[in-house]
Copies of this chain bind each other. A is one copy, B any other.
């Protein structure tokens, strides 16, 4: 059972990645390597199907083991990205002093589980009882742009629509997007197996279960709940429409944001220019704004197309576009950043 971190984390912890062969797990390994995370040992865990394969880490082959109840016994930090069911079953097998950073939605809304975007609420990291949740990708990417503005001028309402990439559905959905597109271009029939619809040159409402009562899908419900928790803004009202577009791995989000007081796009741009984790891409003259192809492989979330919302004459609403790599800041990078802060608080 996970308990309080009585025994401190060692200076060079042993780290496990649960779901090491998935799209996010693969990026977690890459993030740990390129950011020189000070680990003493990397343990890669996956389903029995992937066990026995190996992956390069800092030039060495690391074997992938099948996850079982004993896998995490000697682990200090476990990064989970293998779905909510695996997190629920195996997070508790970590030792009492260990910290689980969970990329699933299993624990995100639990009261004693901090939901962390380091640039926003790293102060919450001290409140964990063994589990820290990594927010959903759309919530992370949106929060990065909303938070600095919210601090300057409280946000009352966000109306967001997403242009979500295949990567959110894992490596299998990315591959299906490629395969269906190839089939379309060569006039061949294609039967989708991962997506509910043919993805080639198509757009479809997010492929999570739709609540029969409210009509919102699970992705939308997550975003609307997680943003107020991340931003510690319980009264923030979020209306969001989540849509998949035929893009491989970066999400774009269009947001219309209503503030307490009037705000000019120029002021918003200056606030965001000085914020961490963001890059302004807002060139009206050359028509260059945040795009998923530009955000792919980037740690920064791109933000731009900042302008007054023409439908709110009070001057209190700003529209914008953000684009962020779903696998990096939207998942793996954010989780690794949380692990880095765990080590920093250890140093302090």
Interface residues of A (CB under 8 A from B): 157-159, 161, 163, 177-178, 181-182, 185, 196-198, 200-205, 207, 209-212, 214-217, 224, 237-241, 243, 245-248, 252, 254, 256, 265, 284-289, 291-293, 305-313, 317, 319, 321, 323
Cβ B291 vs Cβ A197 within 8 A: yes
Task: Tell which of B161, B178, B319 touches A239, judged by Cβ atoms closer than 8 Å.
Answer: B319
Q: How far is the CA of A241 from the CA of B178 in the complex (A)?
A: 28
Nearest-Cβ distance from residue A313 to partner chain B, whole angstroms: 7
Contacts of A245 in B (CB 8 A): 163, 203, 245-246
Contacts of A200 in B (CB 8 A): 293
Cβ B313 vs Cβ A237 within 8 A: yes
Cβ B243 vs Cβ A246 within 8 A: no
Task: Tell which of B210, B256, B291 touches A287, judged by Cβ atoms closer than 8 Å.
Answer: B210
The 5 closest A-B pairs by CB, nearest first: A215-B307, A239-B311, A237-B311, A210-B284, A239-B309
User: Contacts A158-B311, A159-B256, A284-B210 known; A205 to B305 CB distance under 8 Å?
Assistant: yes
Cβ B317 vs Cβ A239 within 8 A: yes
Contacts of A292 in B (CB 8 A): 201-203
Q: How far is the CA of A243 from the CA of B253 in the complex (A)?
A: 11
Cβ A203 vs Cβ B159 within 8 A: no
Q: Which residue of B lies closest to A209 (CB)?
A: B287
Q: How far is the CA of A135 from the CA of B146 in the complex (A)?
A: 35
Cβ A197 vs Cβ B238 within 8 A: no
Cβ A241 vs Cβ B265 within 8 A: no
Q: How far is the CA of A177 from the CA of B158 in the complex (A)?
A: 32
Contacts of A161 in B (CB 8 A): 161, 254
Cβ A284 vs Cβ B248 within 8 A: no
Contacts of A159 in B (CB 8 A): 159, 256, 309, 311
User: Contacts A239-B311, A291-B203, A321-B241 known; A215 to B265 CB distance under 8 Å?
Assistant: yes
Task: Tell which of B215, B287, B293, B321 touches A306, judged by Cβ atoms closer than 8 Å.
Answer: B215
